[in-house]
């Protein structure tokens, strides 16, 4: 073990055990370091280099506490956090996590939005027999999101993941198996309180910014459907993961399948199944008093979105909704690879890595038109921490860039093709430019460690974009202050 390891921050201790990157909580028993911390923070972000759904100015404050504890026959891990974020002059996506689902709803009146997020994680692992361990881990998060200016909306989101696991270990190797159950849901409830000379419009994005643009109460937006409370959307997933560690090498593979839907009861507007594969590879070695880590993270997902064709029939005063069929309107494949190197010694830490993401999307909302998009984005980063007595100096730099291409296709047909589906071109250009624009980011932080584990930290970061055509500004700033306690 590297001397002085107890002085390392929680995230470094968490990363040094590769099992923490996966879903099998029994892996925490392969490390012996106990660490905990609690922290209060405040952040301020401002600048016009931002995505179309982000605010030009926002602040947030919150608290977080995390712990890894090893006792005689079992180990525990847990965390709790709360965050309050307030955004000014914000419009665009009405969802809490834009892009998470294959559909999105946009509104166009800038105003203040407030987001509150609560999260909890708890896990336990224990020995049940010689060479055998079992455990379980649960992650839970809830969020509420509100805008108090017409067009107003209130969102509620829940995320849950439960992963029981088992491990067999002997001498230099360990084999694990875990099951993963996941559920996430969000509801968007819109309302108009005041009076306006012109109606408020909304846009339902069904992929690549093609979709329905009409008044927010229109039937094509689904925000004001009879008998349905807002726009509900959810996913249920089941998965399995296998882990293997042999001496200093660790690897895992996780597969999950999710079934997603938008709507409720008989009125299901969209169904979107998703396949996901995730893998983590890690090799650790020691040279002198330094520890070295080589990591490789891989992710792949394939998602399709089918829009149902619904109809209603009324008999004896009872209206029944029927599904007459469905059309595949969108699909996307995403693959990412992230290699990383990390060095830890008495003087500090060094991390260097990159992340390359390739995605291919296809929208087929209206026959005979189809549009495909290919996008590749990459970033490289270098970060380091130097311990100078009671001070920790943290520096990070990164560079990101990307590009995309698009192809339109019209199939041959014996009948005259109608007008192509509506596209929100201005927002599409903003979204793509933000994803692919070349940029540099610099971050500087200073932490002072008081006696008895108390610390104070300040951070600032600056991001600058290059060769911008649609985004208003090239700069984005962030400042943060933290006060914490390690124990």
Query: What are 162's two structure tokens?
Result: 């439960």
Q: SS3 of 30, please? A: helix
Closest CA to 22 of 357, 298, 275, 352: 298
Give DSSP secondary structure letters for 49-71. Answer: ---TTS-SEEEEEEEEEEEEEE-
In the prediction, which pLDDT does 315 show? 81
CB 375 within 8 A of CB 358: yes
DSSP, res 10 = H
Report the SS3 class of residue 25: helix
Question: Taking the C-alpha atoms of 191, 196, 197 and 201 in order, what is their torsion angle to the nearest 10 degrees?
Answer: -30
Q: How far apart are CA 107 and CA 201, in angstroms?
A: 7
The tens-digit pLDDT sequence of the chain (487 residues) is 333 333 458 999 999 999 999 999 999 999 989 999 999 999 999 999 999 999 999 999 999 999 999 999 999 999 999 999 999 999 999 999 999 999 999 999 999 999 999 999 999 999 999 999 999 999 999 999 999 899 999 999 999 999 999 999 999 999 999 999 999 999 999 999 988 888 999 999 999 999 999 999 999 999 999 889 899 999 999 999 999 999 999 999 999 999 999 999 889 999 999 999 999 999 999 999 999 999 999 999 999 999 999 988 888 878 788 899 999 999 999 999 999 999 999 999 999 999 999 999 999 999 899 999 999 999 999 999 999 999 999 999 999 999 999 999 988 888 877 888 999 999 999 999 999 999 999 999 999 999 889 999 999 999 999 999 999 999 999 999 999 999 8
Residue extents of the structural domains in the chain: 5-446+457-476
Cα–Cα dist 296/287, whole Å: 21
DSSP states of 411-460 as a string?
Answer: ---SS---PPPEE-HHHHHHHHHHHH--EEEEEEEEEEE-GGGEEEEEEE
Looking at residue 82, its pLDDT comes to: 98
- The percent helix, strand, coil of the chain (3-state, each to 5) is 5, 70, 25
212 token code pair: 């329905």
């Amino acid at each position: 073990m590297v001397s002085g390891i107890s002085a390392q921050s929680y995230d470094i201790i968490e990363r040094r055990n590769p099992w923490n990157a996966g879903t099998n909580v029994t892996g925490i028993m392969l490390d012996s370091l106990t660490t905990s911390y609690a922290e209060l923070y405040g952040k301020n972000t401002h600048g016009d280099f931002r995505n179309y759904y982000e605010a030009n100015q926002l602040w947030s404050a919150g608290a977080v506490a995390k712990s890894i504890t090893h006792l005689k026959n079992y180990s525990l891990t847990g965390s709790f956090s709360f965050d309050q974020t307030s955004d000014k002059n914000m419009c665009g996506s009405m969802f809490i996590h834009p892009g998470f689902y294959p559909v999105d709803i946009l509104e166009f009146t800038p105003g203040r939005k407030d987001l509150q997020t609560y999260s909890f994680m708890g896990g336990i692992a224990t020995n049940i027999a010689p060479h055998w361990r079992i455990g379980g881990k649960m992650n839970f998060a809830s969020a509420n999101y509100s805008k108090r200016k017409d067009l107003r909306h209130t969102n509620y989101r829940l995320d849950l993941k439960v992963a029981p696991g088992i491990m067999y270990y002997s001498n230099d190797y360990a084999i694990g198996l875990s099951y993963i159950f996941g559920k996430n849901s969000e509801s968007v409830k819109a309302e108009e309180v005041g009076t306006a000379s012109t109606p408020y419009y909304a846009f339902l994005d069904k992929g690549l910014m093609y979709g329905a643009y009409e008044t927010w109460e229109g039937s094509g937006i689904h925000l004001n459907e009879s008998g349905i409370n807002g726009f509900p959307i959810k996913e249920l997933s089941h998965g399995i993961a296998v882990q293997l560690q042999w001496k200093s090498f660790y690897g895992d593979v996780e597969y999950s399948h999710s079934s997603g839907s938008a709507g409720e009861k008989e009125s299901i507007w969209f169904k979107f199944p998703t396949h996901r594969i995730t893998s983590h590879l890690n090799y650790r070695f020691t040279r002198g008093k330094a520890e070295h880590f080589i990591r490789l993270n891989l992710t792949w997902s394939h998602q399709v979105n089918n829009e149902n064709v619904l109809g209603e029939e009324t008999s004896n005063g009872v209206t029944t909704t029927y599904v007459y069929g469905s059309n595949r309107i969108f699909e996307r494949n995403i693959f990412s690879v992230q290699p990383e190197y990390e060095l830890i010694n008495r003087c500090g830490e060094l991390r260097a890595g990159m992340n390359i993401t390739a995605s291919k999307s296809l929208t087929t909302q209206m026959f005979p038109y189809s549009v495909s998009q290919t996008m590749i984005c990459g970033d490289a980063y270098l970060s380091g921490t130097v311990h100078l007595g009671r001070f920790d100096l943290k520096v990070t730099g990164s560079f990101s860039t990307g590009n995309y291409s698009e192809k339109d296709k019209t199939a041959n047909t014996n009948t005259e093709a109608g007008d192509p589906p509506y596209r929100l071109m201005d927002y599409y250009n903003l979204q793509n430019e933000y994803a692919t624009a070349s940029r540099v980011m610099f971050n500087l932080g200073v932490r002072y460690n008081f006696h008895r584990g108390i610390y104070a930290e300040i951070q600032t970061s600056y991001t600058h974009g290059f060769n911008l055509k649609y985004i208003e500004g090239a700069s984005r700033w962030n400042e943060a202050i933290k006060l914490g306690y390690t124990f």
